[in-house]
Structure 1
Amino acid sequence: MSIRATPIALLLTCAMALPVQAETLREAIASAYATNPDITAARAGQRLTDEELVRAKAGIRPTISSTSVLDQETTSPGRFDDQSRLFNSQIQLSQPVWRGGQTINNIRAADKSVLAGRERLRATENQLILDTVTVYLDVLSNQSEVELTQGNVSVLEQQLQASTDRFEVGDVTRTDVAQSDARLALARSQLISAQANLEASRHAYRRIVGNEPVNLQPPPPLPVLPGTPEQAVDLALAESPFVNSAKLAEQSARYSVSSARGARLPSLDATFSVGYTNFRGLNNQIGGIRFSNVEFTQNIGARLTIPIYQGGQQGSAIRSAKARADQLREDATAAERQAIANVRTAFENLLSARATIQAASVAVEANELALEGTRAEQTVGTRNILDVLNAEQELLNAQVQLVRAERNAYVAGYSLLAATGRAEVKNLDVPVALYNAEQYLDRADDRWFDWAAEFDAQPLSTAVLPAETED
């Protein structure tokens, strides 16, 4: 059986009068996905990782270079008297044949780094969507708290006026008026605090989503969640981007160890070169007539390099690579433990919040009846003003607790999704163009010629936030 969140009752009630042009949670996620600088920076970082694989693959390809030399002999500075002139040009092709296994292991390590980077990009997306949901629900819940507190202030203002009027006719004492006045002051302070919290949540929303939170609609029901903690743990261990990226990073480091060991082995290159030489000088003349000595050359050869002693540098590099791999292995274990803890914590928070919703709903209904009865009893003299004030405060506390519990339940649900790697745009029916992390690498792989290597990545834009306006 899967867990599905119930609609947020108080937020639904507050949304009945919203205009048609209101922002939904999916639209907020789409805006953050397209414009948040954290995820756009992560995408640029992934492209940087992709280029490491491109460079590693270049190690199996030939290189071509050209060298040209012009040498003119003169007898004095600034005087070109044509004593002798040499022009030499050469083109050389070098093809790596054997690198002690370094090239293939570098490619394998870079390939695993690319996959690990894509998992880190998934992790960034999951965290961004969780942050978006959190600030979205914070704004909604804080708005509800402000509205509830404002309503309480209005009621207490009327209560204070009524107490003052009754005191003037001698129906109540000055103590009753003072109690009403004190409770109103407390409610106003609570309103100030609620308004401050609302402003803070709006600022956080603007930072993450990229626009002002205007007329936010209630969120839709949560996606289907794992039914048990065990199911959630299994899903997280299989699909969590944090776990997968840590495992892939360890695999990459293992290949780097093999590459470091290969640096101790011989390397072999095949070479081919063609050259042109043109020499004209005093020793190339007959009867005062100078001749040019022109020569064309071509060479085919092989170059074998055998490391003999490198001052302990390669040994240190191997030990460092092994230590790095061991470190990443422990990081992978830690990532698994953290994923399990995150999943179980989110699951317990969800169950706790749902139980709190049920209890708070009962408390709201009971306090509404209690307040109504207390007011009726006050009219017949069996209750005093303090009893009414206490009943009103208890009702407000229960309503605020219900709003917060509903917010906590929804955020806990998305925390569970993020911990299992399911808080992603492709799983949430978000109206936005997906970023294709593979597309850039495919295009970069096809660019073998350095002078036609540059191209634009998938279009990205970070929105310029509008200036805040004062009400």
Structure 2
Amino acid sequence: MRIRTRALVSLVVVAITAGPGAPAWADTLREALALAYRTNPSLLYQRANQRALDELIVQARSGLRPRVDVSVAGAYSKVESPLGSEDSDSASVSIGLSQILYSGGRITHSIRVAEATILAGRESLRDIEQQVLASVIQAYADILRDTEILRIRQDNVTVLRRQLYDTTSRFEVGELTRTEVAQNEARLSQAETDFTDAQGQLGISRAAYAAVVGQTPGALDPMPPLPGMPTDFDQALDIANLDNPGIRAAGYQLQAAEATVAAAKSENMPSARLTASYGGANDDFDQLGDIIDNTQFLAGATLSVPLSTGGLNGSRIAEAYERANAAQINVERERRNTLQQVSSAYAQALSARAALGTGRESVRAGTVAVAGVRDEADVGLRTTLDVLNQELELRNAEIGLVSARRNEYVAQANLLAAMGRLEGPDLDPDLIPYDPAANYQRIRGRGALPWDGAVESLDRMAAPPIVPADDAPDAPIDQRLKSYTPGSDPRT
């Protein structure tokens, strides 16, 4: 553990201090996404949890199968009396078998609860996967942005140092005043501070990249276009209502809750089982072999009908009803959350795209303006402060353009995540996807017996039906989301 901790610390230090020439293994976004998809701890943690969740189906289906118990008992007693003492001992061995025939639907509904819970878990896994990949994209975009900002800050320091040299030289021959030299010195000092801040921000971004991807970044390639971007908001929301993992998980959780209500009602139904036992007993430890000669075999059927549980079953049914109602409400909450996520990401993407256009124009105009102001300053039509201010505007425009490019890309990634379309295979068709259903299919039949299907079919007979949960009162936005079809915009 100590070795792993030291290795992690070393990795973070390298991420913060390494420069563009440091060794790296993932230079493209696709490579970074693939590495995180295979090795990110948050993703691996959720996959392990999902495999554990798959065991619910094995546990639920085990109720269809017989239960076998072996019992071995021994006893010794000694009785003291005025007439003397008497010793006695005994031993017994028995094996019992119990096979459920009908549980009133309890086992059937427990299987449905397990299946729905597992499906909800898969959607939670999808959600974590998309969060991780969105974090990779953001970290990648942050490094490209911060690297470019660092270059801009470095160029600014270089220009101001050269300009300070020229200003000082002209001051010494009486062409400029001491005030103009001081203005240049102050601007250079601020530029050096900005450069130091940019170095620190790049180090922070590199550390974040190392944490989510699992290795230090080097000279990263430009970001490729993200696949699957919607043509408009209507298409984005339509896809999100179908594929958003939060909505889908809430839907499966509702199915599990409704099946839990039916399972609770099944506790009031009759149950039937076959029983058999075989065993023997002997009153003398010294003659254990006589157990074989004193055996008993019993076989029969048991029908149980619950008459009263002191209100326990009724309370469990009421609890299950309310949990189902809560699950129904949660579906509406997830729809609203998805609407907010899609709307926010879509608006941010549009805003950043507009900022890109204005940013390019600002940089173009600023470049022309700086050249013009410098020429005018050379002939005495502009002051040193005019030149410094114009150069500052150009640097700010360049940084704004770089930030807008990053913001648009990250907003697009967040939009795809809200739509449920930011999964590994969506971003890299060559990526071997992790299939959570493979483990489920592998373990589902563990311990199965030939008559499982017959018992399950029998248990469905007269089982309490699954009844949809009560729908909560709808606000106008809920009604719009439920009736949403392509061509309508629930934001209006």
TM bucket normalised to smaller: 0.7 to 0.9
Match of 2:97 among 93, 99, 102: 93
- In structure 2, the CA distance between the partners of 1:20 and 1:330, relative to structure 1 (3 Å rule), is closer
Residues 13-412 of structure 1: pairs in structure 2 closer than 5 A: 23-71=27-75, 86-280=90-284, 294-412=293-411
Aligned to 1:429: 428
Whether the 8 Å CA contact 1:22–1:215 is kept in 2: the answer is no
Deviation at 1:419, TM superposition (A): 0.7
Choose 229-238 or 432-441, whichever is displaced more.
432-441
The residue identity in structure 2 corresponding to 1:104 is: T
Distance across 2 between alignment mates of 1:342 and 1:391: 39
The residue identity in structure 1 corresponding to 2:93 is: S
Choose 242-251 or 32-41, whichever is displaced more.
32-41
- In structure 2, the CA distance between the partners of 1:95 and 1:390, relative to structure 1 (3 Å rule), is same
The residue identity in structure 2 corresponding to 1:212 is: T
SS at match of 1:68: strand
Please give the per-residue CA displacement for 1:61-108, whole angstroms capped at 9, x wherever unaligned: 1111111223456689xxxx9965533221111011222221111111
The residue identity in structure 1 corresponding to 2:385 is: L
Distance across 1 between alignment mates of 2:244 and 2:257: 20
Distance across 1 between alignment mates of 2:162 and 2:290: 116
- In structure 2, the CA distance between the partners of 1:266 and 1:213, relative to structure 1 (3 Å rule), is same
Distance across 2 between alignment mates of 1:305 and 1:17: 77
Distance across 1 between alignment mates of 2:382 and 2:228: 49
Distance across 1 between alignment mates of 2:228 and 2:433: 22
- In structure 2, the CA distance between the partners of 1:55 and 1:372, relative to structure 1 (3 Å rule), is same
Deviation at 1:18, TM superposition (A): 11
Distance across 2 between alignment mates of 1:157 and 1:252: 69
Deviation at 1:161, TM superposition (A): 1.4
SS at match of 1:96: strand
Deviation at 1:224, TM superposition (A): 3.0
Choose 181-190 or 119-128, whichever is displaced more.
181-190
The residue identity in structure 2 corresponding to 1:420 is: M
Whether the 8 Å CA contact 1:22–1:217 is kept in 2: the answer is no
The residue identity in structure 2 corresponding to 1:35 is: T
Distance across 2 between alignment mates of 1:51 and 1:279: 45
> Structure 2: which 5+ runs fail to align?
1-19, 449-492
Q: Aligned residues: percent identity?
A: 38
Whether the 8 Å CA contact 1:72–1:82 is kept in 2: the answer is no
SS at match of 1:221: coil
Distance across 1 between alignment mates of 2:291 and 2:225: 88
Whether the 8 Å CA contact 1:102–1:263 is kept in 2: the answer is yes
Distance across 2 between alignment mates of 1:343 and 1:206: 28
SS at match of 1:265: coil
Please give the per-residue CA displacement for 1:322-348, whole angstroms capped at 9, x wherever unaligned: 111111111111111111221122112
Distance across 2 between alignment mates of 1:150 and 1:173: 27
Aligned to 1:448: 447
Deviation at 1:155, TM superposition (A): 0.5
Distance across 1 between alignment mates of 2:212 and 2:42: 9
Deviation at 1:297, TM superposition (A): 2.0
Whether the 8 Å CA contact 2:24–2:218 is kept in 1: the answer is no
- In structure 2, the CA distance between the partners of 1:281 and 1:212, relative to structure 1 (3 Å rule), is closer
Distance across 2 between alignment mates of 1:67 and 1:321: 37
The residue identity in structure 2 corresponding to 1:143 is: T
Please give the per-residue CA displacement for 1:191-217, whole angstroms capped at 9, x wherever unaligned: 222222212111211221111122222
Distance across 2 between alignment mates of 1:223 and 1:18: 30
Choose 156-165 or 295-304, whichever is displaced more.
295-304
SS at match of 2:143: helix
The residue identity in structure 2 corresponding to 1:327 is: A
- In structure 2, the CA distance between the partners of 1:53 and 1:22, relative to structure 1 (3 Å rule), is closer
- In structure 2, the CA distance between the partners of 1:292 and 1:114, relative to structure 1 (3 Å rule), is closer
- In structure 2, the CA distance between the partners of 1:174 and 1:291, relative to structure 1 (3 Å rule), is closer
The residue identity in structure 2 corresponding to 1:87 is: A
The residue identity in structure 2 corresponding to 1:194 is: A
- TM-score by structure 2 length? 0.81
The residue identity in structure 2 corresponding to 1:106 is: S
Choose 435-444 or 142-151, whichever is displaced more.
435-444
Aligned to 1:12: none
Distance across 1 between alignment mates of 2:299 and 2:24: 77
The residue identity in structure 1 corresponding to 2:196 is: I
Distance across 1 between alignment mates of 2:442 and 2:178: 82
The residue identity in structure 2 corresponding to 1:335 is: E
Whether the 8 Å CA contact 1:105–1:259 is kept in 2: the answer is yes
- In structure 2, the CA distance between the partners of 1:398 and 1:340, relative to structure 1 (3 Å rule), is same
- In structure 2, the CA distance between the partners of 1:220 and 1:127, relative to structure 1 (3 Å rule), is same
Deviation at 1:281, TM superposition (A): 8.5
Choose 118-127 or 423-432, whichever is displaced more.
423-432
> How many residues are paired up?
424
Whether the 8 Å CA contact 1:86–1:280 is kept in 2: the answer is yes
Matched, 1:414 2:413: yes
The residue identity in structure 2 corresponding to 1:86 is: S
Cα RMSD of the aligned pairs, angstroms, is 2.6
The residue identity in structure 2 corresponding to 1:298 is: F
> Structure 1: which 5+ runs fail to align?
1-15, 285-289, 450-471
Deviation at 1:240, TM superposition (A): 1.0
Please give the per-residue CA displacement for 1:286-345, whole angstroms capped at 9, x wherever unaligned: xxxx98882232211122333233232222211111111111111111111111221122
- In structure 2, the CA distance between the partners of 1:18 and 1:35, relative to structure 1 (3 Å rule), is closer
Whether the 8 Å CA contact 2:25–2:215 is kept in 1: the answer is no
SS at match of 1:301: strand
- In structure 2, the CA distance between the partners of 1:206 and 1:238, relative to structure 1 (3 Å rule), is same
Please give the per-residue CA displacement for 1:399-445, whole angstroms capped at 9, x wherever unaligned: 00000000011111111110111100111116544222112222222
The residue identity in structure 2 corresponding to 1:347 is: Y
Whether the 8 Å CA contact 2:26–2:217 is kept in 1: the answer is no
